[in-house]
Structure 1
Amino acid sequence: MSLTALMTAALLGQSAFSLGMETPAADRMHDVAYQELSEGRSEAALRKLESSSAVEAGDPAALINLGSAYASAGRTDKAIAAYRAAIATQDRYSLELADGSWVDSRHAARTALKNLLTSTARASR
């Protein structure tokens, strides 16, 4: 199973590039609710991720997907906190996005946070 982070539509258009970072070891790969998010089932993703040991352990992919699930559910404050936790985690590796491209986990989290903050600012105008 490849570790996949589902990101906002803006991330899907990014081109693939090599960062020379390792992907997580097989014993560290977790279910990060990709299937639920890709099917638009944010509440199911939240149930899975909120009880996930991967989130507790600070797994960037799980935290990014948690942020995406919160954002989809309209829980912006929690989405921001999840993205910031993904940025701050000690773990860092390449993530495969939904479009098949690979990106640094911190870059993915920063981009998702920026996109969320931009869309929130536009909505409040």
Structure 2
Amino acid sequence: MTETPRVRVRRIYEEPSADDGTRVLVDRLWPRGVSRERAHLDAWEKEIAPSTELRTWYGHIPARFDEFAERYTAELADPQRAEILERLRGIAAAGTLTLLTATKDPDISEAAVLAGLLREHPDAAA
């Protein structure tokens, strides 16, 4: 039986924590007011972010989150995004992975969708 990976979702504006493990920014745009030094990133996987069209449509409107999650999950079948998702899956299998986002409510962000996929399907091929 495979152990559920430890995947966290945090805002990039929060101070890094000793238990963050590998810190990966999953937003397409660099967050305002955060220097690269202060971010303490291990990687910036901007290509896994939702398309501009989907992100614009969603607008972080809570009532649209379920449909956003479905549409974003479909976008993750794109070969480039699928490759990055597999890389994240490998990181999560090896230790704690913290997905970072600049959004005000990370519980309804692309990072939350990714974390859910990584927790629910730790061995799945994208």
Normalised to the residue count of structure 1, the TM-score between the two structures is 0.31
Report which of the two has the higher share of strand.
2
Report which of the two has the higher share of helix.
1
State the structure with bigger RCO (CA 8 A, min sep 6), 1 or 2.
2
Normalised to the residue count of structure 2, the TM-score between the two structures is 0.31
